[in-house]
Amino acid sequence: MASQSQQPMKFEPTWESLRQYQVPDWYQNGKFGIFIHWGVYSVPAFGNEWYPRNMYLEGSPEFEHHVTTYGPQSRFGYKDFIPQLTGEKFDAEQWVRLFEEAGARFVVPVAEHHDGFAMYDCSFSDWTAVKMGPKRDIVGELAAAARKHGLTFGVSSHRAEHWWFFDGGRRFESDVQDPAYEDFYGPAQPAASVSFSDAAWASRDWQPRPHAKFLEDWLARTCELVDKYQPQFVWFDWWIEQHIFEPYLQRFAAYYYNCAANWGGGVINYKLNAFPKGTAVYDIERGQLKGIHPAFWQNDTAVAKTSWGYIHDQVYKDPGDIIADLVDVVSKNGALLLNIGPKPDGTVPDQDAQILRTIGRWLAINGEAIYNTRPWRIYGEGPTEVGEGSFTDTNRSVFTGEDFRFTTNDNVLYAIALVWPGAEAVIRSLDTGTGEIAEISLLGAGWLEWSQDNVGLHIKMPAQKPCDHAFCFKIRFS
């Protein structure tokens, strides 16, 4: 770890001390960011970003695909994909300009995924993008470009899962068993089970537990990310919730929060129960909440339905559904971190870019109903139920013209219709008892005629839609 500032250290490595944490305003105001899964797993482009694990699990589609396409894993292992991660067309400035066009306020690339290949200048490994593959500091270039364009920069670390990620390669003849590659494939200790859906994966005490050497290495690598890149986000995947990580999480959080105080405050994202409430920001993977969360939270999801990294024959979400997710999350006191998966050469796939630009066009008209807002007294109204929890976006709700979401900024209430309501919008939560309304406009369309009664607020819709997705009424109270 680098030496910290000379100012007094506010945070100590205890949960009690870490409960002093406060979510920075820039995060609560920004609402929307871009996640980037780009790594060696982008080369085979098959299945998803778990290809490096699954290609060593006999009987899996990835295993069969790998043997058929590349030969046995003893002759062509995951390491052999690294030279094909060329990044010859990677342009950090071009990426960041696209993210700006999308209306994003923060950028979070994966610094290291479960596969153990660092996309940054890691001094603890030779298996990095600086020394192999692109032979560039991908994280460093993105950090510089993001800050040049005024976007907040963060990183994600999935290093914890490396403890067991390649364990399948121990069960048959493969390069995972070759001592020459031990530094890359890691401990490859047995996972709780082969299947992610097995209940054993929910255990917070997998056996064998990570040993002290692995845990200290995890801490050193994560602190190095802080020291070298000064991220204002550090996003963690789920396996840090193992009980044995607890003192290391406390040490990291105290170190990071004390450092981040020098650059505007930092954010740690965690899943499930890895951190106690009030010590970091809760993140739900591909999921939602049913109501307003008292503490600021985040939904991380992807433009694609099944993979975070680039794959051939990607199946994409409708951009209107993503916009509806953004609106729903913001109305419930959250932020949306939206992932894209670049190709091995460093280009962003056309459809990823098109989806981002569609969101950007929507935010150019309706952004004031998203940025800098806070939840209203209720998140919204309407007949459509939204599933709560992780992975609920695969069975997403179909909204109607009666579904609205609310955000607020000072004396302005934004009522966002998730579907065009027709000739008249009726918002039942805004009847005559909700306060005196001075004026109403539709963002992108201008002033509207309206009336109120004991049923609700009736708004006459304009003849033309101002945009293609969710429609934002700006309601100013007297």
CA distance 300 to 383: 25
pLDDT for res 19? 98
Q: How far is CA 473 from the centre of its chain?
A: 28
Q: What's 223's DSSP letter?
A: H
Average pLDDT value for residue range 163-172: 98
CA distance 8 to 434: 48
Question: Do 41 and 309 contact (CB within 8 A), yes or no?
Answer: yes
Two tokens at 202?
């929910």
Domains in the chain, CATH or no CATH each: 15-369 (3.20.20.80), 376-477 (2.60.40.1180)
Give the confidence band of 387 by pLDDT, cuts at 50, 70, 90.
confident
pTM for the whole structure:
0.96
pLDDT for res 146? 98
Kindly tell me if the per-residue pLDDT of 6 is higher than 60. Answer: no
pLDDT for res 393? 73
Question: Do 338 and 322 contact (CB within 8 A), yes or no?
Answer: yes
CA distance 432 to 450: 12
pLDDT digits (tens, 9 = 90+) for 403-443: 999 999 999 999 999 999 999 999 999 999 898 999 999 99
- The bridge status of strand 404-409 relative to strand 374-381 is antiparallel
In three-state secondary structure terms, 369 is helix
Please list the residues that pair with 33 across neighbouring strands.
106, 337
Kindly tell me if the per-residue pLDDT of 5 is higher than 50. Answer: no
pLDDT digits (tens, 9 = 90+) for 204-263: 999 999 999 999 999 999 999 999 999 999 999 999 999 999 999 999 999 999 999 999
CA distance 38 to 339: 10
Kindly tell me if the per-residue pLDDT of 193 is higher than 90. Answer: no
Average pLDDT value for residue range 17-42: 98
Q: What is the CA radius of gyration of the chain?
A: 23
CA distance 311 to 296: 33
Average pLDDT value for residue range 278-304: 96
Kindly tell me if the per-residue pLDDT of 322 is higher than 60. Answer: yes
CA distance 432 to 117: 60
Question: Do 419 and 400 contact (CB within 8 A), yes or no?
Answer: yes
Instruction: Please identify which residue in the block is written with the tokens 């027709």.
Output: 422
3-state helix, strand, coil in the chain (%, to 5): 35, 20, 45
CB-count exposure of residue 187 (10 Å: 0-12, 13-18, 19+): middle
Please list the residues that pair with 336 across neighbouring strands.
32, 299
State the average pLDDT for the chain. 95
Q: How far is CA 345 from the centre of its chain?
A: 23
